[in-house]
Structure 1
Amino acid sequence: MDELDTAAILPGEVSSATSEDDSKETEVSTTAAGRLRPPFTCPLPVSVEPVLFLSVFSVALQAPLSTQYLWDRISEDLGYNGSKRSDCSNSSMTPDPLQKEVETLTAHWNLYISLGGFSVGLLVVPLLGSWSDLAGRRPVLILPSLGLALQTVVYLVVMYLKLPVVYFLLGRLLSGLLGDFNAILAGCFAYVADTSDRRSRTFRVAVLEACLGVSGMLASIIGGQWRQAQGYINPFWLVLATNLAAALYAYLFVRECVPPDPSAKLLTTRHYKAVWRLFSTGGSSGEDGGRDHRCKLWLYTLCFFLVVTVHSGCRELYVLFELSSPLCWGPTLIGFGSAAQHLAYLSSLLGLKIMQQCLEDSWVALMGLASNIIGLVVFSVANTTQLMFTGYGLCFLFMTSTPVLRSKLSKLVNPSEQGALFASVACVESLCFLVGSGVFNSIYPATLHFMKGFSFLFAAVILFIPAGIIGTLQCLDQRRDQRDATVS
């Protein structure tokens, strides 16, 4: 972008012999620079961070409230009011059959809604992500924000008119058709890859993910208090306003980092072929690295898939786990619990910055996985509020693994292939939400009769797989480097 601007303002420094040719080049450069510039300039030293901040705020505010609304609507339909009884937290009493039915139906509806939205997004997100490599990043930030706003409108209509909860599925489908939240993630991380060097990329990605935590923490605190004071309607109006603000900011203030090609088509198989080529041949970099390079791309993608699947699957169960006995949390405690979870994004960023001074990125990721595993084991046996918050505290480094994996994947491909890479990562992330929602929302009701927290224990066991892969690859790399050093 700066090269285009320089070409636009320094045409007089060239020799007179080439002034006519350079004048033409200057006109082209000025036109290109004009397309890259947004209508306004943001006075703060930020780029796509506000877009991600606002989008996460809307999602984090909406997600727990949606689950609670489903719980309340299903409880009302079945005539269950157990969460209001004084003996709800009395674990010695025989479980109410209606409570199990409410838990099961709520988990299943969460599953259906997630399946609908993310199955559509699984097809749309890679299309939008790869298209942004040609058409620019800004459209991929604007369209999904408008889709999330449209979903919120549907949710508000359901609440105002007391329509069946099946209409929540319609809202998720509409959002999925425009890319959903995963397309925003893809656009933001691709933007960071475009504007950062290899050395600083891991921390830049971690900063972007820290925005997820700060925004989510604020939304969680506000959502719990607001829902207790005024119900569900008013918070969802804020969700709508936040999504519209994200789209407006992206249009007005985000500077385009990819010169847009006006002839780039959205509905074409070319975008899917670009993703397929990346993983089938390893891309342009794979030609030099051979089979080893392609294997690393697949293995790190598998690690990312398993980690994000666990994160997304468990996140949907936390509210359900806390609503029912023996915890029986109300909106305020649920808000604080969600805030504690999102606070780990900041502690993970700080931990990553400190550990990078003395450890390789792979060992930092392993520390994050260890923190996550220990926290999940505590969640699996949590039967008091104190123990539940202890689990949240032990997960204080759980988000150090994903920025490391994103950075490692980004460094495996050439700069010209970042769009295709993050399109595939977005596709994997959509699949993570799909699989995570399906697996964990199915396991949770099926295991209530013998261990309420079995799902969290199952998640902890899964995380040993990416830990083993990352550790093995790092040891092999170190051994190869030592052998090369000895030979030289």
Structure 2
Amino acid sequence: MEDSDTSAILPEDPESSDQQFGSKNNCCLPNGSTCSKTPPYSCPFSISVEPVLFLNMFSLALQMPLYTQYLWDRFSEHVGYNGTKSGGCGNSSEPHDPLQKEVETLTAHWNLYISLGGFCVGLITVTLLGSWSDRAGRRVVLIVPSLGLAIQATVYLIVMYMKLPVGWFLFGRLCSGLSGDFNAILAACFAYVSDRSDRVSRTFRVAILEACLGLAGMFASIIGGKWRHAQGYINPFWLVLATNLAAALYAYLFVPESLTPDPESKLFSTQHHRAVIRLYATDREGGRRLKLWLYTLCFFVVVSVHFGSRDLYVLYELSSPLCWGSELIGYGSAAQHLTYLTSLVGLRTMQRCLEDSWVAIIGLVSNISSLVVISIANTTALMFTGYGLCFLFMASTAVLRSKLSKLVDPSELGALFASVACVEGLCSLVSSGVFNSLYPATLHFMKGFPFLFGAILLLIPAVIIATLGCQERGMNSRETTEENCVES
């Protein structure tokens, strides 16, 4: 109901949309349409891009902590730091080891170099591939970045086998960035489900993809630490390489095209980047440009708070007064990722009686209450209570992605989700800098202040979504009244 004002752009009937904007042809659609790029095999189940996203997210979540620990070990070996610690949890009386500080600094700096290198290259490539997929099709943008991530894993393995300088990690990251990186896969997957879904079911389909991200992260966090402790770094990275190749193979063999590709579409053209700029620069009927900017702002704030608080959880749990060990930290990580599933179930339930705007607000309330409790948590029970209160946090991001997709033409979905993926990458960089700087600066008066700060920030998207939701409801009421008057 709340999005009926976009009906001038997006037709309500999926079949009419197919005829106007290109056939949504795949082996699983009930209309039986065919595609000019049919995969070699039909869909084995009623799923499409979910396995591609799951496998690539699993590989990403598995390798990120591993290469950070590998950098730590390499720099420790380089400076002669043996890694022993004389103090226990919360023991601040021991002098800080200058070698440990040097290792921490080198590891943090190289993590920053690698992240920035991938983001800067990917910013150009993702927008290019995302907009190009609106004409060339989604499958190629699922396959090529998966192969790019496989090349990155191969470079990392070579570095580990041959003990090459750690600067080669940056080279591997740049190779992945040139192919679109994980952000291109995100953009293609969300654009794909938007192609295949109608306006009613889109929010839930988007939420399923978000749940895939959480489940993949949960399995990777459980497997990665234990495997690295048992067998070192190299064997887990072989699994990273295998999952990236499996994702590319699955996309090639089983994922049907969601739109009709244009054989004359050119990849290297400035029109693709111009299409992304036009999304936010062109005025649209019914104030859609302003809504696009406001919902993007909401998405930026919500994801930044999520990334920033996630970066601090382990540090917060390791130190006094919680003093968690590796086992409790593992349980805490599993509890965080379990909220992706509870959010999916909660979203599906709430959609039966509430509009999407209010579902998003409830999700934000869940996130705010969780962060407030965690900010004052001084016991294990209170910390897990905070995790429990976050059981609906994902509902807000799923609704925001869905609302953004309904504000643009179907032929612009690739460009839209490419820009959203870039915003998500920017969120990771900004939140890491802000929250990691805020944490040590506020330890002297409130250890959990960064979490409280995140809760306050979430009030901004809550107010914006509530305001836009009320406006949309008012517009729907006026349209209904006018229709009744005409009929009478």
Residue equivalent to 2:10: none
Mean CA deviation greater in 371-380 or 46-55: 371-380
Check conservation: 2:146, 2:247, Cα contact below 8 A.
Answer: yes
| Residue identity in the other structure for 1:120 | V
Mean CA deviation greater in 220-229 or 242-251: 220-229
Mean CA deviation greater in 363-372 or 150-159: 150-159
Tell me by how many angstroms 1:382 deviates: 4.5
Residue equivalent to 1:403: 398
Residue equivalent to 1:370: 365
| Residue identity in the other structure for 1:400 | A
Which structure has more helix as a fraction of its residues? Answer: 1
Mean CA deviation greater in 185-194 or 258-267: 258-267
The within-5 A match list for 1:293-442 is 293-322=288-317, 332-382=327-377, 385-442=380-437
Tell me by how many angstroms 1:453 deviates: 4.1
Residue equivalent to 2:228: 227
Q: Secondary structure in 2 aligned to 1:147?
A: helix
Q: Deviations over 1:249-290 (max 9, x none)?
A: 1111110112222221111110111111121114xxx2x32x
Q: Secondary structure in 1 aligned to 2:405?
A: helix
CA shift in 2, pair 1:6/1:296, >3 Å? closer
Residue equivalent to 1:272: 273
Residue equivalent to 1:62: 63
Tell me by how many angstroms 1:238 deviates: 0.7
Which blocks of at least 5 consecutive residues in structure 1 are unaligned?
8-29
Residue equivalent to 2:140: 139
| Residue identity in the other structure for 1:133 | D
CA shift in 2, pair 1:47/1:486, >3 Å? closer
The within-5 A match list for 1:16-415 is 33=34, 35-77=36-78, 85=86, 87-91=87-91, 93-94=93-94, 96=96, 98=98, 103=104, 105-282=106-283, 286=284, 288-289=285-286, 292-322=287-317, 332-382=327-377, 385-415=380-410
CA shift in 2, pair 1:71/1:330, >3 Å? farther
Residue equivalent to 1:16: none
Q: Secondary structure in 1 aligned to 2:65?
A: helix
The within-5 A match list for 1:468-487 is 468-485=463-480
CA RMSD of aligned residues (A): 3.1
Check conservation: 2:377, 2:383, Cα contact below 8 A.
Answer: yes
Check conservation: 1:103, 1:445, Cα contact below 8 A.
Answer: no
CA shift in 2, pair 1:150/1:243, >3 Å? same
CA distance in 1, matches of 2:155, 2:357: 43
Superposition misfits of 4+ residues, deviation over 6 angstroms: 1-7
Residue equivalent to 2:454: 459
CA shift in 2, pair 1:454/1:408, >3 Å? same
Q: TM-score, normalised by structure 2?
A: 0.84
Check conservation: 1:104, 1:445, Cα contact below 8 A.
Answer: no
Tell me by how many angstroms 1:134 deviates: 0.9
Q: How many residues align?
A: 458
| Residue identity in the other structure for 2:409 | N
Q: How many percent of aligned residue pairs carry the same amino acid?
A: 71
Q: TM-score, normalised by structure 1?
A: 0.84
Q: Secondary structure in 1 aligned to 2:39?
A: coil
Q: Deviations over 1:185-234 (max 9, x none)?
A: 10001000100000111011111111112222111111122122222221
| Residue identity in the other structure for 1:395 | C
Residue equivalent to 1:22: none
CA distance in 1, matches of 2:69, 2:433: 19
